[in-house]
Amino acid sequence: MNNKQLKKLKRQFTVPSTLQESSTYITKLKFYLTIFNDIGPIKYLINQILLADNMLSNGRTPQPLPPLLLPDNIQDTIVYYINNNYALGDPTGDALWDKMTNNLPALDALLRDYRDYLAAHYGVWAYINSAFINDLAQFLNNQPVLEIMAGNGLISASLMQKKPHQLVYTTDDTTWKSENNTGRHPFTPIEPLDALSAIKKYGHHVKYIIMAWSPDGIPIDVAVLNLIRQSYPHLQLIVIGEKNGATNSSEFWQIAKLKEPFVLNQNYKTFDLIDERVYLVK
């Protein structure tokens, strides 16, 4: 995929579509599993999503995901399977080949839509996995932390599950609830505060602030950074997002002084073409 195609694909990630808002996403994945159950690479990808979905639906932090992309040689894999299970010219094998290859484009699109499904169904934009939470908890070293613009609070909830005595203030202005019903089912209680109000309330009581997936093009992230610089210089801001990409405002990336610590990125694995990373920002 060239850079022009990649940028076009990323621009398409905005508000989750109606298709992803319904439970049909998982239903469709299970349907494709019945078709491709004997094709190892596809079965593995689908099962990884189903496992993650099961964990999220039970309020647990999911496992890291592999890149949710079909292998370039997937048709060769299907040919190999059919040739080893059906005689040449067997109409059953020919029909299965047609069925599988005809369904590949839709399956490929469904895999690429997983982030949309997460946003619509769980109110989760940044994919937080259990290995990353282990790293984050060790990095924070039991110091008090404030999460702003927390959405459904998956990061905070995961931290508190890992470290029950970790002091975490979880805040969000909750205005997005009017556009997304998933806000009715947070992973942990959310204090209804906008980002600046939350910092002013808790800035002298915490050491770290976490800001994950600040909305693309909205300069609230600049206001947050300026407030920290001016009034709370002791605070360390942890940002999760894609530099000059799907998250944050362009001005933020221009003025932010970024560090990309290995310890916070070694297990923060993106599963799609959005190259989200974890940054320390001053």
Q: Where in the chain is the domain with CATH 3.40.50.150?
A: 130-281
Output the pLDDT for position 9.
41
Output the pLDDT for position 244.
96
Q: What is the CA radius of gyration of the chain?
A: 21
Output the pLDDT for position 50.
97
Output the pLDDT for position 15.
38
Output the pLDDT for position 105.
96
List CB contacts of 14: < 8 A, sequence separation 6 or more: none
The per-residue pLDDT for range 170-179, each reduced to its tens digit, is 999 987 666 6
Give the sheet arrangement for strand 145-148, strand by strand. 191-192, 168-172, 145-148, 208-212, 236-241, 277-281, 258-259
Q: Which two tokens stand for residue 112?
A: 């690429």
Hey, what CATH class is 130-281 in? alpha beta
- How many CA atoms within 13 Å lie on the side-chain side of 95? 3
Output the pLDDT for position 23.
64
Which parts of the chain sit beneath pLDDT 70?
1-23, 176-184
- How many CA atoms within 13 Å lie on the side-chain side of 28? 17
The per-residue pLDDT for range 89-98, each reduced to its tens digit, is 899 999 999 9
The per-residue pLDDT for range 178-204, each reduced to its tens digit, is 665 555 679 999 999 999 999 999 999
Output the pLDDT for position 257.
98
Output the pLDDT for position 113.
95
What is the C-alpha to C-alpha distance for residues 164 and 166, in angstroms, rounded to an integer?
A: 6
- Does the global pTM surpass 0.75? yes
Output the pLDDT for position 185.
78
- The answer for 153, left when phi > 0, alpha when psi is -120 to 50, beta otherwise, is left
